[in-house]
Structure 1
Amino acid sequence: MFKPISDLVKSLHKDSQELLTNRYKIGNLVGKGAMGQVYKAFDINNNDTVVAIKFLSQALLDSKMRDRFQKEAKISALLGEQSDHIVRVKDYGVDDSQVPFYVMEYLEGYDLDQLVKKKPLSFPKFLSLTRQICLGLECAHNGILVNNELAPIIHRDIKPSNIFLAKDEKGGHFVKILDFGIAQIHNPDESLTQKSFMGTPEYCSPEQMAEDELKATSDIYSLGVLMYQMLTQQTPIKAEAHNFQSWYKAHNEFPPKKLPTYLELPKDLDDLIMSCLHKSPARRPQNIREILKVIIPLDREYNSDGGMNQTSKEASSALLPINTVYRQSFWPQNKPQKKIVFPNLVEAQEGAFSSLWSMLESDEVLHFQPKSTFCFTHFMFQATPHPMILWVNLLYNRTYEPKWLPCYLDLKTDIGAQISTNLISQKKYHILLFELGHPSGYKQKLTVNVASEKLKQLQNFLLKASSWQGEGQPEGSKIILKKQFESVKKTILAAVARAK
């Protein structure tokens, strides 16, 4: 006999001495939906940090729903480590009554549905929120590791109530995508044909309504409906009645309404939103990056900080081709002009790119020209006491002394996780070599492709980092990795010399 969740919560209330799994004190109910209830709680193992705990509804306690609930927790945990714009799941468990739950970061704010119902968004607000939604969705579409293969995630339920607007430090909104409960994992070994319809009909693509194979373009259709609604408070397609058959007909047969001319939208944005709503997936933008190429420059124009990190803004004041961005780049003023190596993430027309920047002696820079240089890439990982990657690069030219360019990626920092994720999605990176004393521009640029087995390694490291809990001790892991690196340098160098 299951104990009702209401009785369970009373027994685990913050004033009670009982704890959920000997760790969490339960507070008040903060939300509920079709799949369960969400409570505010306190993590006594982490200085009473406030968290949110979602319990699966007891009306859904069958094996199928348990598996779906656990899948939602796993997807959110993995993606939340890779993007700040996806709600972060920290723990999963089962209570004494065998009711599954998972623990999330606690967010103060409200969902986009509440905001849109009040009034249409201002143009700057629309751009800021759309950019953030796209960044989270792009991360999901880039995927997680399944059976050692990258598997894209199709959300299948992009709508205003699943976009949470958390309060940021400046009093604005920080987007978090919620509810991966019906998300579909594109396992390379399986078809993406749906077993049954799931979703919110008002926002579903024609192919989702038809239970056909789904790709990222299905979420992009839903995003088009959402963008239209953010600007007008209305959806672009209306059904004759609120039932499945009527919505199926509407999405497959009715053309979307044009955006009102009074909005005076830039033509490329108007065209973009309408293209997202095309009946044919092939005629929509094929990935989120195509949408960001339009949104990001407008966001920079209408919102002064554009939400970009300072390094990216310095490297790319406008979305230019990547080679132009690099040519206009200078050695950062906040970095010493010494023989150091550091990672960077740069925005360009073609997308975001990871890069390594290094200063070398003039003769060393001349030795490593792209046509005559082989770059060996190696990733080393240390999970404890802190999840850390040592990203090793060996520049090799038979004629000259080889050059090691190692740098650390802390997977519990935004930049470390972002660069690791970007390497997986782009499958390549660039190395910029600067001459000591000459910060005004790089002298050599090397393009390095990352082998598929290395990409699988990186995804595995991110997966392990997502389950890490503890106090940050990055220096401890750096010391361990440095010792390991010194012990394998000769082996790596010998293998590269034999191969070349």
Structure 2
Amino acid sequence: MVIPKTEVDIYIGKFLNNRYLITDLIGKGGMGRVYLAEDTARGSKQVAIKILMVNLGSQQISQRFAREIFIGAQLGRKSRNIVRVLSYGMTEDKAPYFVMEYLQGKNLKQILKVEPLAIARFLEICQQICLGLQCAHQGISLKGEIYPVVHRDIKPENIFIIENTKGEIVKILDFGIAKFLTERSGMTLTDSFIGSLPYCSPEHMEGRKLLDVRSDIYSLGVLMFEMLTGKHPFQTESHSFGSWYQAHRFQTPPAFEEVNSQVKVPQELQQLVLMCLSKEVSDRPQNMSRVLKILEIIQSQLHEHQPSVSDIWQTLPTVQLVPVTSISEKECFQKNWPKNKPIAPIGFPNLLHTSQGTVPTFWAMLPQQEIAKLLDNNHSIEFIGKMHVYPMLLWVTVLYDAHISLTRWLSCFLDMKDNRGQKIVHSLAEKGYYHLLFFPLEEPTTCARVMTLILTAYQRQQLVDWLSNQKSNELITSKQAKNLLKTEYEKLKLEIVQNLAVNPQMGKTSFRNWVSNLFERFLQLLAPQ
């Protein structure tokens, strides 16, 4: 949309919802305009507002806009690496809008215009992009079901970098053309092509209906190549659909040194990028967790000179990659049950010092038969806290075997007034995983089995927020806090088991139900009469 310079913008200077004062136009596109505004209800805090500028008679455009709100409201709350939607509404002239956090910084396209990224900076930015995409791929809730989300438009313009005192924070933008992974009719927007040609996967351009998360992984591969070399991996004679399709389907990416001889890219990293750029979906890493594991190993090699990981490529994609945690897992088997702990079905947290650094663990003693049945079944991780009254959380691991209706609840309190509790919470947030050590009652001396559980991006951010926002004055005692968290825990138990029976990663539903209702209401509002 081109706006003549002489045109006066009708929204600048106006209030929306008697709250948001629009001060400036900061962006525009084919579907809408983005404005800078002040949230007068929050001390004139700056926010960004996107207003739809096209005819609402278009069902497709209406759904795209509603979808962007719905996805942004859910995912922005779960992951710090996805732009957050704060509110929505209608202007006086019946144009729909939504409010999102205002980001100050540069997008990746602006950064790459200057030079490629150094390896250390690349790894930090790329890991955050992957965490955001992993969160989307894990899905959002609609009517009590989980639907993974494919972004479908990963490109430098949609990766925003914010600088603060703690480093750089990455935000993924624009879920307007994202797609739910479901075969149900009515859930997808359109079967026609939508996307940015230089970054589309071959199957995306072919219009395959069963597009999945590996399409985003291909787009990420294009982006990673560009981040490392400063150049696109494919060259075309024109910007036509046909030229780009030929490139994505048939061109082989050039060697990194041919594109930019000044950039030295580790061999394992080159292999990762080329694997993501595989023409066939089955030849790529099958999910974002695999990409993250490889990036973590490469980072470890750079900083700690770990052994080579080139052998793991022989196992992709049919066998899951050996994560960096496998080293510390092996060390867990050497641990003995503490002499000061009873031989009984109990559990407790422990910080374990390994060659991989300090790792959070939870030690549990159970009957040997239970361990065998629970090890490879569904599980759920829950953190329950009431930080506004006392800095303590309840850490719960739920193991569930649906075949015999067996559930084991492994829980402990972490008091963050206590130095040890703080360290465990910090380690969980930093590592993003923990080892669950099983000791059988029948042979309690040594660890028999080890299970590594992964925290979601939202859980890690939640722990960080709790650590940084502790109240100095507690409103209740430690004992009262435990009773409060136990009560909350009991309320959640039935919901957790019901969720595990359907999907192991469902999580809490109250916020999701609210957003689901928002989505349905907004679709009704935007539907042509």
TM-score band, normalised by the shorter chain?
0.5 to 0.7
Establish whether residue 211 from structure 1 lines up as the match of residue 219 from structure 2. Answer: no
CA distance in 2, matches of 1:346, 1:207: 46
Does residue 486 of structure 2 align to residue 482 of structure 1?
A: yes
Residue 234 of structure 1 corresponds to 231
3-state DSSP of counterpart to 1:166: strand
Shift of 1:58: 3.6
Pairwise CA distance, 1:116: 0.5
Give the aligned partner of residue 260 of structure 1. 257
Q: Distance in 1 between matches of 2:86 and 2:268?
A: 40
Moved more, 58-67 or 221-230: 58-67
Q: Which of 326, 329, 349 pairs up with 1:323?
A: 329
> Shift of residue 297 of structure 1?
2.8
**Superposed displacement of residue 234, structure 1:** 1.4
1:147-172 CA-to-partner distances (Å, cap 9, x unmatched) read 433211111100000000011223x4
Q: Residues 342 and 59 (structure 1 numbering): CA distance in 2 closer, same or farther, change over 3 Å?
A: farther
Contact 1:432/1:442 (8 A) holds in 2: no
- Select between 151-160 and 90-99 the one with higher mean Cα deviation: 90-99
What is the rounded CA distance, in whole Å, between the counterparts of 1:45 and 1:442 in structure 2? Answer: 58
Per-residue CA shift, 1:292-333, capped at 9, x if unaligned?
A: 2221233345579xxxxxxxxxxxx965446236569999xx
Partner of 2:12, secondary structure, is helix
> 1:203 Cα deviation (Å)?
0.7
Are 1:51 and 2:56 an aligned pair? no
Once the two structures are superposed, the pairs formed by residues 19-38 of structure 1 within 5 Å of their partners are 20-38=16-34
Partner residue, 2:523 = none
Instruction: Give, in angstroms, the shift of residue 235 of structure 1.
Output: 0.9
Residue pair 2:221, 2:277 contacting (<8 A) in 1 also: yes
Tell me which residue corresponds to 2:278.
278
Deviates more, 1:57-66 or 1:270-279: 57-66
Aligned partner of residue 9 in structure 1, secondary structure: coil
Q: Secondary structure at the match of 1:260?
A: helix
**Identical aligned residues as a percent:** 37
CA deviation after TM superposition for structure 1 residue 42, in Å: 2.1
Counterpart position of 1:11: 14
Q: 1:97 Cα deviation (Å)? A: 1.5
SS at match of 1:55: strand
Contact 2:386 2:485 in 1 (8 A): no
Superposed, 1:44-443 pairs within 5 Å as 44-58=40-54, 62-170=58-166, 172-187=167-182, 189=184, 195-212=191-208, 213-260=210-257, 262=261, 263-300=263-300, 302=302, 319-321=325-327, 323-324=329-330, 326=332, 357=362, 368-371=366-369, 405=411, 407=413, 431-432=436-437
Stretch moving more, 132-141 or 62-71: 62-71
For residue 182 of structure 1, give the secondary structure of its aligned residue in structure 2: coil
**8 Å CA contact retained: 2:75, 2:82:** yes
**Mapped partners of 2:409, 2:251: distance in 1:** 62
TM-score normalised by length of structure 1: 0.67
Q: Secondary structure at the match of 1:6?
A: coil
Contact 1:341–1:407, Cα closer than 8 Å, also in 2: no
Residue identity opposite 2:330 in structure 1:
T
Relative to structure 1, is the Cα distance of residues 326 and 74 closer, same or farther in structure 2, using a 3 angstrom cutoff? Answer: farther
Residue deviations 1:351-405 (CA, integer Å, cap 9, x gap): xxx98737xxxxxx7x635445798989999999989996656999xxxxx9973
Matched letter for residue 9 of structure 2: S
Report the number of matched residues: 413
| Amino acid aligned to 2:11 | L
Kept in 2, the 8 Å contact 1:343–1:356? The answer is yes
Distance 1:84 1:66, change over 3 A: same
Q: Can you list the C-alpha shifts for 1:406-444, whole angstroms capped at 9, x where unaligned?
A: 55899xxxx99x999x99xx9xx864589xxxxxx9968
Specify the SS of the correspondent of 1:136.
Answer: helix
Is the CA contact 2:60–2:189 (under 8 Å) kept in the aligned structure 1? no
- Structure 2 segments unaligned to the other structure (5+ residues): 1-6, 305-322, 338-345, 401-407, 417-423, 440-444, 460-468, 497-529
2-side partners of 1:77 and 1:118: how far apart? 33
Distance 1:383 1:299, change over 3 A: closer
Select between 283-292 and 386-395 the one with higher mean Cα deviation: 386-395
Q: CA deviation at 1:94?
A: 1.5
- State the alpha-carbon separation in 1 of the partners of residues 414 and 302 from structure 2: 35
Contact 2:398 2:409 in 1 (8 A): yes
Q: Distance in 2 between matches of 1:166 and 1:299?
A: 22
CA distance in 1, matches of 2:489, 2:292: 39
Distance 1:29 1:208 in 2: 33
Q: Secondary structure at the match of 1:118?
A: coil
Q: Is the 8 A contact 2:347 2:410 kept in 1?
A: no
Structure 1: tracts of 5 or more residues without a match: 13-19, 305-316, 332-338, 359-364, 397-401, 435-440, 451-457, 462-470, 493-500
1:45-85 deviation per Cα after TM superposition (whole angstroms, max 9, x unaligned): 33332221111124566333122111111111111122111
Which SS does the other structure have where 1:236 is aligned?
coil
Whose relative contact order is higher, 1 or 2, with alpha carbons under 8 Å and at least 6 apart? 2
Q: Amino acid of the residue matched to residue 161 of structure 1?
A: E
Displacement after TM superposition at 1:103 (Å): 1.3
Write the distance in 2 (CA, Å) between the matches of 1:188 and 1:300.
Answer: 40
Quote how far apart the aligned CAs of 1:260 are. 1.7
Q: Distance in 1 between matches of 2:59 and 2:256?
A: 45
